[in-house]
């Protein structure tokens, strides 16, 4: 065994989170560095979905809306997420997708700042965030504009024409972080509202929405929260704004009394008005169980492990693979990074396919980014060492350079 691997083993032995890995069903022979895209299956989620299917749906049928807590799952789950993002239980619900929640909250925000005509974002934001903003400008008209500036220009672009600053804390391509406190303060100073997309933050690092005075937030639960493919997303509205929100998707689940079946819409009090319609309960069940994994997880310890994993990965890749043309795309300084590391390589797609064929699962983002996610609940230090050894072997032998590995699939 190499000295690197021995040192990694020693780190794993003293890891405060080492018992968490057993909570997941990870296939043999796989080093899973893509939990930033789709978290793996928690054992308890599998059990819960089996029960929800066989017992709650299969046996109890429609009674389960009342007897199995289906009716309130949006808030039960929301409260569990709230603890991870520095929010109060009644400030978060789970519902719909991130894209839809972006739509709901951004329209509501634009209506809260009539007369202001700019939704501001940056070009590093995830495309759906930008597309939804463009769609809203098109829908609302009245000169509303989706303004997209360079990441470094965000602070200077915030002025009194801006209704909403809409940003993702951690950039999906290179893992770079915005300064959440500084940007939120600048938005408020200019009288704008602030919406944070936490897709790559929730479950990846400590988040303190109320600590920074954030107004609105959204995020998904199938990445670091391990809720399963297409799991429900969440949304946050600070308590002080909840009564002023006018939901653009005024469905019956956001009504004050949905089971009165009256003809007139009247928004529910509080966070619940941001719901729209009936939700996928089996997905909610998986997520609800997956979130229980976080009971007792110390977010500072989580972050410390995440930083340690990312630091060793960067050091080993640069030492062993640097001569093959890989360059670091993520910030070198840990404080400015999320829980992923990205490298650029002109042949990144084929190299990633070769890695996946050898059991090291990361992903590729056009045009040339290899992404590696380090989810501290189940990634070990030995995984980092083993992944880099396989990457080195692929690069040194050129085994990535085949037509098979160059052939692109629909999902990269």
Ligand X SMILES: *Cc1c(COP(=O)(O)O)cnc(C)c1O
- Give contact residues for ligand X (rule: CB under 6 A): 97-99, 126, 128-129, 168, 172, 197, 199-200, 220, 233
Give the shortest CB-97-to-ligand X separation in angstroms: 4
Q: Which is nearer to ligand X, 23 or 129 (CB)?
A: 129
> Is 32 an active-site residue?
no
Query: Taking the CB of residue 148, how many other CB atoms lie within 10 A of it?
Result: 18
Give the single-character DSSP code of 273: G
Give the shortest CB-220-to-ligand X separation in angstroms: 5
The Cα diameter of the chain in Å comes to 71
Give the shortest CB-107-to-ligand X separation in angstroms: 16
* Catalytic residue chosen out of the listed positions 197, 215, 288, 363: 197
Q: Which is nearer to ligand X, 200 or 337 (CB)?
A: 200
Give yes or no for a contact between 136 and 253, defined as CB atoms under 8 angstroms apart: no
Give yes or no for a contact between 165 and 193, defined as CB atoms under 8 angstroms apart: yes
* Catalytic residue chosen out of the listed positions 32, 172, 222, 234: 222
Give the single-character DSSP code of 339: S
Query: Taking the CB of residue 75, how many other CB atoms lie within 10 A of it?
Result: 21
Q: Which is nearer to ligand X, 166 or 309 (CB)?
A: 166
Give the shortest CB-84-to-ligand X separation in angstroms: 16
Give the single-character DSSP code of 277: S
* Catalytic residue chosen out of the listed positions 223, 272, 358, 380: 223
Q: Which is nearer to ligand X, 16 or 100 (CB)?
A: 100
Q: Which is nearer to ligand X, 61 or 410 (CB)?
A: 410
Give the shortest CB-202-to-ligand X separation in angstroms: 10
> Is 131 an active-site residue?
no
Give the single-character DSSP code of 55: I
* Catalytic residue chosen out of the listed positions 24, 32, 103, 126: 126
Give the shortest CB-282-to-ligand X separation in angstroms: 17
- Cα atoms found within 13 Å of the Cα of residue 344, Cβ hemisphere only: 12
> Is 197 an active-site residue?
yes
Strand partners, 164: 119, 193
Q: Which is nearer to ligand X, 126 or 313 (CB)?
A: 126
98-124 burial, b at 16+ Cβ within 10 Å, e below that, comes to bbbbbbbbbbbbbebbeebbbbbbbeb
- Our measurement of the distance from residue 148's CA atom to the centroid of its chain's CA atoms, rounded to an integer in Å, reads 21
* Catalytic residue chosen out of the listed positions 215, 371, 378, 380: 371
Q: Are strands 41-42 and 162-168 parallel, antiparallel or unpaired?
A: unpaired
Cα 398 to Cα 16: distance, rounded to the nearest angstrom = 38
Cα 86 to Cα 204: distance, rounded to the nearest angstrom = 13
- Structure-token pair, residue 377: 């609940």
Active site residues: 126, 197, 222-223, 371
């Amino acid at each position: 065994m190499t000295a690197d691997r021995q040192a990694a083993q020693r780190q794993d032995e003293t890891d405060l989170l080492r018992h968490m890995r057993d909570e997941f069903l990870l296939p043999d022979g796989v080093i899973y560095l893509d939990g930033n895209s789709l978290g793996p299956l928690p054992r308890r989620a599998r059990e819960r979905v089996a029960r929800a299917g066989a017992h709650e749906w299969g046996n109890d049928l429609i009674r389960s809306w009342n007897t199995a807590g289906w009716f309130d799952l949006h808030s039960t789950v929301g409260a569990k997420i709230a603890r991870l993002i520095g929010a109060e239980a009644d400030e978060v619900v789970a519902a719909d997708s991130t894209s839809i929640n972006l739509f709901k909250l951004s329209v509501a925000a634009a209506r809260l700042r009539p007369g202001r005509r700019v939704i501001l974002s940056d070009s590093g934001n995830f495309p759906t965030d930008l597309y939804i903003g463009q769609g809203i400008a098109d829908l609302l008209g009245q000169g509303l504009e989706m303004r997209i500036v360079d990441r470094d220009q965000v602070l200077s672009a915030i002025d009194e024409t801006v209704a909403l600053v809409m940003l993702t804390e951690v950039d999906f391509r290179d893992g770079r972080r915005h300064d959440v406190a500084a940007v939120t303060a600048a938005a408020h100073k200019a009288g704008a509202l602030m919406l944070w997309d936490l897709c790559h933050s929730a479950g990846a690092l400590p988040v303190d929405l109320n600590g920074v005075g954030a107004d609105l937030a959204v995020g998904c639960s199938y990445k670091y929260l391990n809720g399963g493919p297409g799991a429900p997303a969440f949304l946050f509205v600070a308590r002080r704004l909840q009564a002023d929100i006018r939901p653009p998707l005024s469905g019956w689940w956001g009504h004050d009394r949905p089971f009165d079946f009256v003809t007139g819409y009247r928004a529910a009090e509080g966070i619940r008005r941001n719901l729209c319609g009936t939700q996928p309960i089996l997905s909610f069940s998986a997520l609800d169980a997956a979130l229980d994994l976080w009971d007792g997880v110390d977010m500072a310890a989580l972050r410390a492990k995440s930083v340690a994993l990312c630091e060793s990965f960067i050091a080993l890749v640069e030492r062993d693979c640097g001569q093959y043309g890989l360059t670091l795309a993520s910030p070198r300084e840990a404080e400015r990074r999320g829980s992923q590391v990205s490298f650029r390589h002109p042949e990144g797609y084929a190299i990633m396919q070769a890695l996946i064929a050898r059991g090291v699962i990361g992903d590729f983002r056009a045009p040339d980014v290899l992404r590696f996610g380090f989810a501290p609940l189940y990634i070990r230090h030995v995984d980092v060492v083993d992944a880099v050894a396989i990457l080195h072997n692929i690069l040194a032998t050129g085994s990535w350079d085949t037509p098979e590995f160059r052939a692109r699939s629909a999902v990269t």
